[in-house]
Structure 1
């Protein structure tokens, strides 16, 4: 039966089985729709900055507005730069992980950054 079913997209296990309209992996408990190709779905997610530029991993961005950060002593000021960003579209609103110069590692919203 597993000869005709695709392997799990998360762990590549070949022991997938059908459960109604879903495919299930017994090793990692991942469930997905047999009709959709998850790899295409994750690649189609586009993250844009505050002015509409498409962001990619490794880009440099600058902060567009000053704001307070919970648990931090200082404020995140407009114009501060974050280099070598990492996109995390599955992480909800805070879809960018970056190290901000003079501040440290943060997760940012794409709506408050501008590509440099």
Structure 2
């Protein structure tokens, strides 16, 4: 038996045990192979060494970067005004850490500063 077994990938319990060729978590009942755990930890190490930069993609899968121009793909209701219509162009976006799912900080003409979700815009 190994000195230290990996945490359960489902519930992060430290009480995993070996059963034949599998690892088992008694807390949630999840079963996984040690090869999966090694691959997952290698992927996590690679992601950590990449600088922890999250890739933000628009509604069609294009990668967004700071300063890009985007077009709103669906009409957005804005409290206290008519809203933002589909097809509105937004220039000079800034990517931020997600706040309630909103990961774009921008200034929309006629509305002012606003947070948008990347799922409702398309890169121009």
Sort the Cα spacing of 1:93 and 1:104 in 2 relative to 1 into closer, same or farther, 3 A: same
Q: Which has the larger radius of gyration?
A: 2
Structure 1 residue 39 displacement after superposition: 7.7
Contact 1:47–1:89 (8 Å) recurs in 2: no
Normalising by structure 2, report the TM-score.
0.57
The partner residue of 1:115 within 89, 109, 123 is 123
Which residue number in structure 2 is paired with residue 94 of structure 1?
102
Partner of 1:11: none
Q: Which of the numbers 52, 72, 87 marks the counterpart of 1:63?
A: 72
Partner of 2:51: 40
Structure 2 unaligned segments of length 5 or more: list them.
Answer: 1-44
Q: Distance in 1 between matches of 2:55 and 2:100?
A: 13
2: CA distance between counterparts of 1:75 and 1:91? 20
3-state SS of 1:67 partner: coil
